[in-house]
């Protein structure tokens, strides 16, 4: 039987406001427990919530960025349940009337085709606090620093059919919220996390299968692994004649499996109702227009522009625009370099990205700035050094913080373009390898590469490759 996977994601993105969504407490990460919890966050008797206008502005920005409808009127509702890290005994969220409805996000799949993932809604809500068990034998510690941090919950349509699509969508939303400067996207700190709704059905079937919701996935890798595990689990269960139960599951990253947390029957009845402490949120067109005017160039627009301006491939443009800072870096390099857009793209997405990744750095913390990288690529462009040598120079720049020209100069890395010097090296290599020479001359063309390698070795890689090819061909031919 052929199975089809259906996936929808609920993404929780913490909004990068300075204060909480309904109180004046700071939202900075890492403060001592409860240092950022005031009377409102502690739900003292008599306190009341006051909506943070900045959180609203950020949600509107998001709505506009995904071409959604920003609702003129939305309602905050109470989601009631008891938990020690939920001081009021209810979470203020939006239920029937969210601030953002509809909209879509385009993703590019591995084969280069793009796909549109619908967004059902996005709503504002407050985060809960944290319960801590470590080092507290028999006790639970409560840290309310996070309680009341603004979140936007972005609910997708069930439009994804594989873990890879889900990850591509999650990455795209991750990129988007950072472009919009509404979320720092830090997944380790929980600023950006998601729940995945996963179900399977036989291909061609109209009816959706029963879904399981996998809670609180906080890395792209976990999302992929958890979904893949869950899909296999569901298919195996169904093929063995079993039935999927609607339930909430947890992903255990140590064991790489999902397991049941609670079934639908055990689920809370949250008794949602409009929060009488907060008036309906009314937004007018003037406000929406004003927010729209502040939207930056978005990833898709930027990618289109890079393709048009620099003749990049869709793939390179996609990689470069994964973050606005990355794309900005690239554009500075190209501007300094005065062209050579493909060379710059290859270096930025290749060697530079490799170094950043190796050292766990963001582009903003790169040890080689865009101007310096352009300085290096200038020397490739004018044939002072080869691309291969450039890699070593970049590594040296990265380690020593020096400029490319200084490194090339002090280490004598300039390419050898002098024909006689290259010829001398070729002759020496030919003399040292008579057997190979003879074989080549009897038709073993493949040995050409061997000679190139030997000459490069002899010249410490500095021979100008084009010149070397030309001379070597002539000399070997006899």
Q: Give the binding site for another protein (CB under 8 A).
A: 39, 42-51, 78, 80, 82, 84, 87-90, 140, 142, 269, 271-273, 276-279
CB-nearer residue toward another protein: 125 or 316: 125
Could you tell me the smallest distance in angstroms from the CB atom of residue 113 to another protein?
42
Could you tell me the smallest distance in angstroms from the CB atom of residue 24 to another protein?
10
β-strand partners of 463: 416
CB-nearer residue toward another protein: 44 or 301: 44
CB-nearer residue toward another protein: 29 or 272: 272
* Residue 63 φ then ψ, to 5°: -55, -45
* C-alpha distance from residue 295 to each of 208, 289, 332, 364 (Å): 37, 10, 21, 21
Structure tokens at 91: 């979470």
CB-nearer residue toward another protein: 49 or 98: 49
Could you tell me the smallest distance in angstroms from the CB atom of residue 258 to another protein?
25
CB-nearer residue toward another protein: 93 or 372: 93
CB-nearer residue toward another protein: 139 or 286: 139
Could you tell me the smallest distance in angstroms from the CB atom of residue 98 to another protein?
18
Give the number of C-alpha atoms closer than 13 A to the C-alpha of residue 9, restricted to the C-beta side.
Answer: 34
DSSP assignment string, 430-475: HHH-HHHHHHHHTT-GGGHHHHHHHHHHHTTT-B-HHHHHHHHHHH
Could you tell me the smallest distance in angstroms from the CB atom of residue 284 to another protein?
17
Contact 428/458 with Cβ under 8 angstroms? Answer: yes
CA distance 385 to 235: 56
Could you tell me the smallest distance in angstroms from the CB atom of residue 126 to another protein?
14
CB-based contacts of 56, cutoff 8 Å, min separation 6: 99, 124, 281, 283
* Residue 296 φ then ψ, to 5°: -80, 175
Could you tell me the smallest distance in angstroms from the CB atom of residue 83 to another protein?
9
CB-nearer residue toward another protein: 87 or 209: 87
Could you tell me the smallest distance in angstroms from the CB atom of residue 214 to another protein?
24
CA distance 14 to 221: 20
Pairing status of strand 273-274 against strand 76-80: antiparallel
| 289 membership: H or E segment, kind and range | helix 285-292
Contact 431/458 with Cβ under 8 angstroms? Answer: no
Q: How many helices (H) and strands (E) does the chain have?
A: 16, 17
Structure tokens at 188: 């380790």
CB-nearer residue toward another protein: 281 or 319: 281
């Amino acid at each position: 039987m052929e199975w089809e996977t259906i996936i929808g994601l609920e993404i929780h993105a913490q909004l990068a406001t300075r204060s909480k969504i309904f109180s004046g407490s700071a939202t900075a990460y890492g403060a001592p427990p409860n240092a950022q919890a005031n009377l409102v966050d502690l739900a003292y008797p008599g306190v009341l919530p006051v909506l943070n206008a900045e959180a609203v502005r950020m949600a509107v920005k998001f709505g506009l960025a995904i071409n959604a409808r920003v609702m003129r009127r939305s309602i905050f509702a109470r989601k009631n349940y008891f938990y020690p890290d939920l001081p009021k005994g209810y979470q203020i969220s939006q239920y029937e009337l969210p601030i953002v409805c509809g909209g879509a996000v385009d993703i590019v799949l591995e084969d280069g085709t793009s796909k549109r993932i619908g967004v059902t809604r996005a709503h504002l809500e407050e985060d809960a606090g944290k319960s801590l068990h470590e080092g507290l034998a028999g006790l639970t510690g409560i840290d309310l620093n996070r309680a009341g941090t603004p979140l936007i919950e972005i609910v997708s349509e069930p439009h994804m059919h594989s873990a890879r699509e889900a990850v591509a969508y999650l990455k795209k939303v991750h990129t988007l919220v950072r472009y919009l400067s509404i979320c720092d996207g830090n997944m380790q700190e929980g600023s950006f996390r998601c729940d995945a709704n996963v179900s399977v059905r036989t291909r061609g079937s109209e009816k959706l299968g029963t879904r399981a919701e996998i809670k609180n996935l906080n890395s792209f890798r976990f999302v992929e692994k958890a979904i893949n595990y869950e899909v296999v689990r569901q298919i195996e269960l169904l093929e063995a004649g079993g039935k999927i139960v609607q339930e909430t599951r947890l992903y255990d990253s140590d064991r790489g499996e999902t397991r049941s947390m609670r079934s639908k029957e055990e689920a809370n009845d949250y008794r949602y109702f409009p929060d009488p402490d907060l008036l309906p949120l009314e937004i007018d067109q003037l406000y929406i227009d004003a927010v729209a005017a502040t939207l930056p160039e978005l990833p898709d627009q930027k990618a289109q522009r890079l393709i048009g301006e620099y003749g990049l491939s869709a793939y390179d443009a996609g990689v470069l625009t994964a973050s606005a800072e990355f794309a900005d870096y690239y554009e500075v390099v190209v501007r300094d370099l005065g062209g050579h857009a493909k060379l710059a793209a290859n270096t930025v997405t290749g060697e530079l990205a490799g170094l950043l990744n190796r050292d766990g750095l963001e582009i903003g913390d790169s040890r080689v700035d865009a101007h310096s990288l352009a300085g290096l690529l200038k020397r490739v462009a004018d044939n002072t050094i080869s691309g291969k040598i450039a890699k070593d120079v970049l590594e040296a720049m990265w380690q020593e913080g020096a400029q490319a020209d200084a490194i090339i100069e002090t280490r004598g890395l300039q390419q050898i373009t002098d024909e006689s010097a290259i010829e001398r090296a070729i002759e020496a290599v030919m003399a040292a390898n008579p057997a190979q020479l003879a074989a080549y001359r009897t038709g073993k063309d493949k040995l050409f590469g061997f000679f190139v390698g030997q000459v490069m070795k002899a010249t410490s890689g500095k021979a100008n490759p084009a010149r070397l090819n030309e001379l070597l061909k002539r000399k070997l031919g006899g």
